[in-house]
Amino acid sequence: MPDVEMSFDASILNDDAAGPRDAGRQPALTGCPWHDVNEMLQAAGLRPTRQRMALGWLLFGKGARHLTAEMLYEEATLAKVPVSLATVYNTLNQLTDAGLLRQVSVDGTKTYFDTNVSAHHHFYLEHKHELVDIPDPHLVLQKMPEVPEGYEIARVDMVVRLRKKR
């Protein structure tokens, strides 16, 4: 699997620009996407079915990225992977439940699946309908709300919406 370290490329903000892996044990990655997807699935307790392997290869073989189910379905169709949109949704939800993906909602209308499961926040580029990692790992919220008794904060997802200056 390619190196998945995230870096921020400011050119993505430009219209002209081209548009956990630790559920139990850490898999030994070899650099071979097919082998690595198999290891990731097994380490997360998921059976490496043909469809999970093919979708995992499409998801993780290109490094860290943000995809909707529809985007992955389109990639699968172009790659001649025989899979339905329902199977794509089911697989993305299974990978999320296993900790291999992170779900990020934008406006409650669009859900992206992030292959970078580390704690981080996002920019949403309105003009491109694209989610981008915020590069500052030291970004913090000053004050958290009081949590109702019997609950704890699981995680905080911040999505900062950006639009072109008028």
User: At 22, is the pLDDT very low, low, confident or very high (cuts 50, 70, 90)?
Assistant: very low
- What pLDDT score does 31 carry? 54
CA distances, 1 to each of 37, 40, 48, 95, 144 (Å): 8, 10, 16, 17, 37
- The model's pLDDT over 99-155, given as tens digits with 9 standing for 90+, comes to 999 999 987 778 999 999 988 889 999 899 899 998 877 777 788 889 999 999 888
Could you tell me the two tokens for 132?
A: 């981008």
Nearby residues of 61 by Cβ (< 8 Å), 6 or more positions away: 1, 2, 33, 37
Could you tell me the two tokens for 13?
A: 């903000």
Could you tell me the two tokens for 19?
A: 């548009």
The residues spanned by each domain of the chain are 10-118
| CATH code matching the domain that covers 10-118, chosen among 1.10.580.10, 3.40.50.300, 1.10.10.10, 3.40.640.10 | 1.10.10.10
Q: Bridge-partner residues for 97, per DSSP?
A: none
Q: What is the DSSP letter of 13?
A: G
- The model's pLDDT over 24-50, given as tens digits with 9 standing for 90+, comes to 444 454 556 678 888 899 999 999 999
